[in-house]
Amino acid sequence: MKPKRHLDYQLNAVKLILCSVALAIFGAACSTDIQAQSFYDRKEEGWFWYKEDPEPEQEQEQEPESEPEQPVVIIAPPTEAPTQEVAPTAPAPLSAAWLRENMMKYLDVAIDEPSPENVKAYLYLQRLAMDKAERYAMVSQRVNVGNPFLDETIRRPSSSFAVTSVDAMAGVARAQLVKKIAANAGIFFFYQSDCSLCTLQAPIIKSLETQEGFSVIPVSVDGENMPNSPWEEFKADNGHAALLGIENLPATYLVGADGSMVSLGQGVYALPELQERIIKVAVVEGWVSEEEANQTRPIRNFNNLADILEAGRVDTQISAKADESGFIPPQEILQHITRQMQ
């Protein structure tokens, strides 16, 4: 049994090998036939190994697409952060500034709600303000004594006999200056014959003519002379009263050498007042100086602090010491004023 099985095994192996060889030969033959058929089928195209490969189609150059326009963006300028307002500093309690701001508030509360506490609070604050003022007044009097720039009695004495003397000297200076003005100016006196006030004013105007030397021209608005007139001759108004806009009588005008007319007033005035008005008009018109006019005042005007300080320059050092509100410490402003007075 063993030799027969062995023989069968050998026969099966031989069959397997033969099948493998047959398959290999058949595959090769099929490959040759396919190649031959492919060659003959394409014989009309010529020798295939000489055929040039077709040139690749040139791709059309595409124009670069234009980039879309970017939208214009407007950037607003940066806004500054709003500055915070600094609240003003409240004044120190019970100081003068504090009392000035709050006294009326306490009074309102005391009036609206008059309880003992409210009324007493206001009265205490009122007493405080009065005591502060009195303390200031006392120190002010001490500082004024003997100071040529602050002592008012140096400008005008307080004693009655000295006042009389000063007034008399001022009167003499005033009369002299008025006479100087009269040498280059005249007076037009407008009146009406039936005007009682005109009758009162006429003798005073006449005294300016006789005592001071003014040339006076009386002008009658109604063309008639007044009873008991100090002037025998007069001028009838020919439209000057209307041209000057006279509304009340009597009316007195100062006339300059150049023909300019300036009103001294429409009404009745005493002689000293008329003299004062004449001097004031003459200063404005430039007929006399300010210094000459000051000599006629019943007060000595030397050591005028306004003239001294305004004539001097404010140095940059004192300006630099002022705070934001312009306030300069008392010590600094005192030193500045003292330097200007020297």
Question: Can you list the positions of beta strands (E) in 94-192?
Answer: 185-191
- Given a contact cutoff of 8 angstroms between Cβ atoms, the answer to whether 45 and 51 are in contact is yes
- Do 192 and 105 share a structural domain? no
Is residue 42 in a domain? no
Using the predicted structure, report yes or no on whether residue 142 has a pLDDT greater than 60.
Answer: yes
Mean pLDDT (whole number) for 13-20: 49
Q: Compute how many other C-beta atoms are within 10 angstroms of the C-beta atom of residue 5.
A: 9
Is residue 241 in a domain? yes
Mean pLDDT (whole number) for 21-43: 44
Count, residues in the chain? 342
- Average pLDDT across the chain, whole number: 81
- Given a contact cutoff of 8 angstroms between Cβ atoms, the answer to whether 187 and 214 are in contact is yes
Is residue 282 in a domain? yes
Q: Compute how many other C-beta atoms are within 10 angstroms of the C-beta atom of residue 297.
A: 16
Using the predicted structure, report yes or no on whether residue 81 has a pLDDT greater than 80.
Answer: no
Is residue 247 in a domain? yes
- Given a contact cutoff of 8 angstroms between Cβ atoms, the answer to whether 191 and 247 are in contact is no
- Do 182 and 270 share a structural domain? yes
Using the predicted structure, report yes or no on whether residue 315 has a pLDDT greater than 80.
Answer: no
CA distance 330 to 143: 15
Using the predicted structure, report yes or no on whether residue 6 has a pLDDT greater than 50.
Answer: no
- Do 220 and 193 share a structural domain? yes
What is the pLDDT at residue 77?
66
Is residue 239 in a domain? yes
For helices 160-182 and 271-285, give the axis angle rounded to 10 degrees.
60
Residue 49: band (very low, low, confident or very high) from pLDDT cuts 50, 70, 90? very low
Mean pLDDT (whole number) for 305-311: 75
Mean pLDDT (whole number) for 21-42: 44
Q: Compute how many other C-beta atoms are within 10 angstroms of the C-beta atom of residue 327.
A: 10
Is residue 318 in a domain? yes
- Do 312 and 230 share a structural domain? no
- Do 233 and 282 share a structural domain? yes
What is the pLDDT at residue 103?
96
- Do 291 and 224 share a structural domain? yes
- Do 183 and 278 share a structural domain? yes
- Do 201 and 317 share a structural domain? no
- Do 333 and 291 share a structural domain? no
Q: Which residues have CB under 8 Å from 257's CB, separation 6+?
A: 184, 185
Closest CA to 314 of 322, 304, 303: 322
Query: What's the structural domain count of the chain?
Result: 3
Question: Two tokens at 244?
Answer: 């000057």
- Do 319 and 234 share a structural domain? no
* Residue 223: CATH number of its domain: 3.40.30.10
- Given a contact cutoff of 8 angstroms between Cβ atoms, the answer to whether 273 and 264 are in contact is no
- Do 193 and 110 share a structural domain? no
DSSP code string of 265-320:
EES---HHHHHHHHHHHHHHHTSS-HHHHHTTSSS---S-HHHHHHHS---HHHHH
Is residue 221 in a domain? yes
Domain that holds residue 267: 161-295
What is the pLDDT at residue 64?
54
What is the pLDDT at residue 41?
47
Is residue 86 in a domain? no
- Do 234 and 109 share a structural domain? no
Residue 329: band (very low, low, confident or very high) from pLDDT cuts 50, 70, 90? confident
Mean pLDDT (whole number) for 95-100: 95
pLDDT tens, 252-306?
A: 999 998 889 999 999 999 999 999 999 999 999 999 998 899 889 888 776 778 7
Instruction: State pTM to two decimals.
Output: 0.58
What is the pLDDT at residue 61?
55
